[in-house]
Structure 1
Amino acid sequence: MFYFINEYILQKNSSVEHTAMNRVKLFNHYKQPAKIVTKTYDRLLHQTIGTFGLTDNEIVNMFDFFQEATVPLPIKVMHTDDLKLPLASEVTVGANFSQVAEGDRSTSNVGFIPGTVGRVFYQEFFDGLGNVIETNLWDWRGFKSATQYFGQNGKLILERYYTPSGKIAMEQYFVPDTNGQPLASRIIVKDYHGRGDLFFQNTDDLFTFFLGELSNQDDTTTTFISDRPGTGVKPLLALNDHSRKYVYLPINHAVDPNDPVHGTLDGFLAPAFEHFNHFDGFITATEQQADHLRQRYPQAKIAAIPAVTLLPATKTTLVTPEQRRAHSLLYVGRIAADKQIEQLLRMFALVKDQVPDATFDLFGYGSADYLTQMTDLVKELRLTTSVTFKDYDAQLADQYDHYQVLVNMATADGAPLAMPEAMGHGIPVVSYPFNYGPQAFIKDGQTGYVIDRGNALAMADKVRTLFTDDAQLIKMSQAAYDVAHQNWTRRKVWNRWQRFVQA
């Protein structure tokens, strides 16, 4: 079994999670059993993965594992009426929760799963003074997953986790930290496999044990690939068994991205490279980053394997530029200052001066404060009818065929998925150079343009040229499509994985 170690799968994910999701689908397509491993307690996990086309068999969560809830379970839809409330209870139904009272005293609230009509998510209980003393937490699949207990000061002191049958599986105790907030002090796995109670200081220690148990239960050699260095590196260093261990680098390995060979290593990756002999290999998304790492660690096993997989061109159809929305510009990624969104907007304003009907859509999520700043800038630049912040889209693959050009003005990034994805849909990419991605994906002048950093005027000119020169846009679109479907097909990427992990 292959396990891809991650922290979580959220409703809004980064390229780290999307890379793992692409990979687990690739492996299982070729009948190689693989699962994404997640660490975080998440009662909506099995709802969320469905939005990304994943099945319960393609993921294993640490809490599910100890709660004996890893096998696909029948979905039981729970409503307030199913909670067997006392006969004297009076229920007042609201949009997001129901209030339960006995006479004049409010006894509990029943909260609903967001986006559903009355499906139970939690039930919190009040004492005579209206303080929350206990909360039952319900899993998306319809079983009571945990109970939280609160002290007189309202702070969490205990969480108790259950199996779907109602047996106590784990307990987690909390003490106040220096700021008075709950801090996990002990986790107890109750009578684990008849071996008695197991004690852990925190979820990090439990996660290390969990990975060892995943390895122990396999009849054949287990392979771990850590996708999030902060989540997987230390547990894998502590795992001294016969499993195979790899680290995937989703980020720049150096703190200074412009000094990749000699610069200080990222803090999460440093322990892995300090003990590189403990690992069977390291994997990057670009050959450029792999080459930089080979220069630093010539004895380590390092390979570049694309993060995107595509069907061969014979099984897909290129949507030509004239079939797309005319003069449509696209950005995909975090909406954050380090991505230089302000520069992107000002660059687009230059484009629009020359191409009045040009539009610019930005897909991604960011902090509310920063989004407000950028929305205000759009108003200041008088672009409100042309620029749209589209937020995160779980089905982004369905959107690419509407756009003609993708842009990126970041100064550093770890091989953004949007570039090869867009090229796979025949979208030329115009980008600043940075480690890593643009130089690896873009053939300058053929599938897009790599613009000198800081030269927004030159980028606007290249975008304008593509928007106004139909022949050039069609030529570049076809070239981007051809390069993508020649280099990143599902079979070719799979062959790279096979050669690397079997070497």
Structure 2
Amino acid sequence: MNFFLNQGMGHGNSGVEHAQFYRAQCFLDRQLPFKIIFTDLLQDLHVHMREWHLPENQVIGLYDFLLATNPFDYLDNGLPAEEVQKSHEKILIDQTDTQRIITTQSSGNYQIRRLRDKIFSTEKNIYIVDDAHVFLTKGDHQVEWSYRQGPGEKVMQDIHLTNFLGEDYYFFTFDELVTFFLNQLAAHFGQNTYFVDRGTFYDETLVRQKAAGSTQKIVGMVHANHKVSEENGRILFNNFYQYTLDHLDQYDAVVVATKAQKAALKADLQGHTAEKNLDKIYAIPVGGVTHLGQAKTRKNQKLNLVTASRLHEEKHIDQIIDAVQVLVERGQDVNLTIYGAGAEDQKLAQQIKDLGLTNRVVLAGLSQHMTKDLQRHDVFVSASYSEGFGLTYLEALGQGLPVASYANNFGAKELIHPGENGYLADFSTSDANRKSNVDQLADAILSCFQDYDRLSAGAIASCQPFLTENVADQWVKLEEELS
């Protein structure tokens, strides 16, 4: 079995989840078996699975498994349809109007009971209310644990698993529980390949087992820039990938999304790992297109722009809005539709209002039909400083939209060919150069409307290597080399 290891998913997802969904489609097309694994406590998991069209037999939730009457039937088939429901909760408050007990009936048909502590923080000078003890119950099956405050975050401890196949278990840490879980997967499915998409605890457990003689295959998935900085000749790797890159002897493969990142990673690893480990690095796109749209023609002088991403600070959507303002000041008739959700939603709404752009810029929320929605626009815009691949770039290009983007490493530079399917804007990560960044992004946007019809045709042509059938062949080749 092939396992895609992750922590959680929801109504809105990051590029990591979308990369998993796309890989799942490639595996389905080539009849390669797979399961997507989530280990977070997700009360709405099954609702969100339906929202993203993930069948029950493609997903394994850790707590669904631990609480199942027949855990191994659940591993094979998922949750029975009649057990899936919308979650609902009841909150008990104390005399100070503080939430003390939250009881939730999850979408997986088990009860979640959270007991909460109210503790005064001298550092923040406020009372903090947070979970102290959690009980999960389904019939006569139960999982419970408490929390202790670790460095920067709370940590699960004292985990009790009751009546798992008639036995009771105790785990001091979450890592011990994960080890138990992975052992159960190995016992049921036999020889497996684990694609570690998110969760360094997976890496540590699997590497420890591999060093002890396990024959299971481990594939490290690199979804972002692997390097943070370089100081005094020493490379500081991204914390998400540091453990992987330090233990490459125990990995069977590492997959990056672009050829450029493969070359950069191999160069950065020179002297950091054994030479033989450099041959374990593969470049396979984390996204692609199933069907290509039609090249577009420009019908009027309006600049009809679109962007789509999580509304988080690192995506710099605010700079795209500022670029719209620059274009308005230059006398352009421009509008922008922003698809996505996230923590920056209200901040961006206020920015749009303050700049007087409410009739030009729309926060359209999440799209479940991105391909169709993109077709209504002319140019896709991105202001991200870093993209491991850029799934939305590819979705836009596949529908004939030229792309204007900051010239970020790997994603933009791999997919956008200036003058052929879009334009790139130079940028600086320094806040002092923000205005210059925005001006150059505005220039790139305008360039996309010059000789627009040719750029749109170029966008379609540039997607040929990323057709799903071509990407699926690369996953098959990797599978063959790992077997």
TM-score (norm 1): 0.80
Deviating more after overlay: 458-467 vs 58-67: 458-467
Which residue pairs with 1:280 in the alignment?
252
SS at match of 2:380: strand
8 Å contact 2:257–2:286 — kept in the other structure? yes
Which residue pairs with 1:392 in the alignment?
366
8 Å contact 2:296–2:456 — kept in the other structure? yes
Cα separation, partners in 2 of 1:429 and 1:149, compared to 1, 3 Å = closer
Q: What is the CA-CA distance between 1:268 and the residue it aligns to?
A: 2.5
User: Do structure 1's residue 226 and structure 2's residue 192 form an aligned pair?
Assistant: no
8 Å contact 1:3–1:36 — kept in the other structure? yes
One-letter code aligned to 2:384: A
Equivalent-residue separation in structure 2 for 1:267 and 1:129 (angstroms) = 41
CA deviation profile, 1:397-448 (whole Å, cap 9, x unmatched) = 3311111111222322322211111111111111121222111001111011
Equivalent-residue separation in structure 2 for 1:127 and 1:349 (angstroms) = 49
Which residue pairs with 1:89 in the alignment?
none
Alignment of structure 1 residues 294-309 onto 2, 5 Å = 294-297=266-269, 298-300=275-277, 301-309=280-288
Equivalent-residue separation in structure 2 for 1:131 and 1:382 (angstroms) = 40
Alignment of structure 1 residues 131-170 onto 2, 5 Å = 136-141=103-108, 143-148=109-114, 158-163=133-138, 166-170=139-143
One-letter code aligned to 2:88: F
CA deviation profile, 1:259-283 (whole Å, cap 9, x unmatched) = 9x95211123111111101010100
8 Å contact 1:327–1:358 — kept in the other structure? yes
The gaps in structure 2 that reach 5 residues or longer are 120-128, 270-274, 428-435
8 Å contact 2:112–2:137 — kept in the other structure? yes
Alignment of structure 1 residues 100-139 onto 2, 5 Å = 121-124=88-91, 136-139=103-106
Equivalent-residue separation in structure 2 for 1:73 and 1:47 (angstroms) = 13
8 Å contact 1:354–1:464 — kept in the other structure? no
Which residue pairs with 1:8 in the alignment?
8
Equivalent-residue separation in structure 1 for 2:99 and 2:446 (angstroms) = 59
Superposed CA RMSD in Å reads 3.1
User: Do structure 1's residue 243 and structure 2's residue 216 form an aligned pair?
Assistant: yes
Deviating more after overlay: 438-447 vs 384-393: 384-393
User: Do structure 1's residue 327 and structure 2's residue 327 form an aligned pair?
Assistant: no
For 2:342, which of 366, 373, 377 is the aligned residue? 366
User: Do structure 1's residue 426 and structure 2's residue 388 form an aligned pair?
Assistant: no
CA deviation profile, 1:188-215 (whole Å, cap 9, x unmatched) = 2224334x32211233331232122212
Which residue pairs with 1:117 in the alignment?
none
Q: What is the CA-CA distance between 1:462 and the residue it aligns to?
A: 3.6
User: Do structure 1's residue 459 and structure 2's residue 459 form an aligned pair?
Assistant: no
8 Å contact 1:335–1:366 — kept in the other structure? yes
Cα separation, partners in 2 of 1:157 and 1:271, compared to 1, 3 Å = closer
Q: What is the CA-CA distance between 1:323 and the residue it aligns to?
A: 7.8
Q: What is the CA-CA distance between 1:149 and the residue it aligns to?
A: 5.1
One-letter code aligned to 1:482: A
Which residue pairs with 1:269 in the alignment?
241
Which residue pairs with 2:185 in the alignment?
214
User: Do structure 1's residue 481 and structure 2's residue 460 form an aligned pair?
Assistant: yes
User: Do structure 1's residue 255 and structure 2's residue 228 form an aligned pair?
Assistant: yes
CA deviation profile, 1:312-361 (whole Å, cap 9, x unmatched) = 54xxx416245899521112223344333333222222223446431112
8 Å contact 1:229–1:247 — kept in the other structure? no
8 Å contact 1:23–1:307 — kept in the other structure? yes
Equivalent-residue separation in structure 2 for 1:40 and 1:499 (angstroms) = 32
Which one scores higher on RCO, CA 8 angstroms, separation ≥ 6?
A: 2
Q: What is the CA-CA distance between 1:310 and the residue it aligns to?
A: 1.8
Equivalent-residue separation in structure 2 for 1:392 and 1:404 (angstroms) = 19
Equivalent-residue separation in structure 1 for 2:456 and 2:180 (angstroms) = 49
Which residue pairs with 1:171 in the alignment?
144
Equivalent-residue separation in structure 2 for 1:123 and 1:372 (angstroms) = 28
8 Å contact 1:26–1:490 — kept in the other structure? yes
One-letter code aligned to 1:159: V
Which residue pairs with 2:272 in the alignment?
none
Which residue pairs with 1:51 in the alignment?
51
Q: What is the CA-CA distance between 1:391 and the residue it aligns to?
A: 2.9
Which structure would you say has the larger Rg?
Answer: 1
SS at match of 2:165: helix
Cα separation, partners in 2 of 1:171 and 1:340, compared to 1, 3 Å = closer
SS at match of 1:450: strand
Which residue pairs with 1:84 in the alignment?
none
CA deviation profile, 1:352-384 (whole Å, cap 9, x unmatched) = 3446431112223332xx444433333343322
CA deviation profile, 1:278-321 (whole Å, cap 9, x unmatched) = 010100111111111112334320011011122254xxx41624
Equivalent-residue separation in structure 2 for 1:231 and 1:224 (angstroms) = 13
Which residue pairs with 1:72 in the alignment?
79
TM-score (norm 2): 0.83
Equivalent-residue separation in structure 2 for 1:200 and 1:322 (angstroms) = 62
Which residue pairs with 1:338 in the alignment?
314
One-letter code aligned to 1:341: I
8 Å contact 2:423–2:447 — kept in the other structure? no
Identity of aligned residues (%): 21
8 Å contact 1:324–1:403 — kept in the other structure? no
SS at match of 2:12: coil
Equivalent-residue separation in structure 2 for 1:13 and 1:495 (angstroms) = 26
Equivalent-residue separation in structure 1 for 2:258 and 2:84 (angstroms) = 45
Which residue pairs with 2:165 in the alignment?
193
Cα separation, partners in 2 of 1:40 and 1:250, compared to 1, 3 Å = same
Deviating more after overlay: 143-152 vs 31-40: 143-152
Equivalent-residue separation in structure 1 for 2:440 and 2:242 (angstroms) = 38
SS at match of 2:371: helix
Cα separation, partners in 2 of 1:309 and 1:171, compared to 1, 3 Å = same
SS at match of 1:264: strand
8 Å contact 1:305–1:496 — kept in the other structure? yes
- Number of equivalent positions: 445
Equivalent-residue separation in structure 2 for 1:426 and 1:229 (angstroms) = 36
Cα separation, partners in 2 of 1:128 and 1:254, compared to 1, 3 Å = closer
Equivalent-residue separation in structure 2 for 1:338 and 1:350 (angstroms) = 21
Q: What is the CA-CA distance between 1:130 and the residue it aligns to?
A: 9.6
CA deviation profile, 1:467-488 (whole Å, cap 9, x unmatched) = 3x4xx2111111111211x111
8 Å contact 2:340–2:365 — kept in the other structure? yes
